[in-house]
Amino acid sequence: MIDFFLYDESEDTYTRYVSFVGEHGRYDLAIIQTDRYFGKSLVLNTQGSRFGIIGPDDLEEEGYIAHILGYTDDEASEVEAFLSEVIA
């Protein structure tokens, strides 16, 4: 039984589903934009069942995308290039 909730809220979001092929692989992502994470987006790697809360500052951090979304360095560089165009 649940004694208490820390929070239980609903919010309208914008979700973009995108699939693309790069030099190093195929990528299937869901990008959820919400006010919940201080302007960052929730990015889901739907092939690898991994996700991360990602903003422009995270895209500049070396190795972050590879680690958080479960990609190799080469794959992560392709995903970073795409995300840098869609995450403001």
Q: To which residue do tokens 């979001």 refer?
A: 13
Give the residue with greater pLDDT, 59 vs 4: 59
Give the whole-angstrom CA distance, residue 88 versus residue 78.
Answer: 17
Q: Is-contact 31 20, C-beta < 8 A? A: no
Strand partners, 26: 21
Which amino acid is located at 43 in the chain?
V
Q: What is the mean pLDDT of residues 35-50?
A: 94
Q: To which residue do tokens 């290039």 refer?
A: 81
pLDDT digits (tens, 9 = 90+) for 11-32: 999 999 999 999 999 999 999 9
Q: Where are the chain's structural domains? A: 14-86
How much is the pTM? 0.88
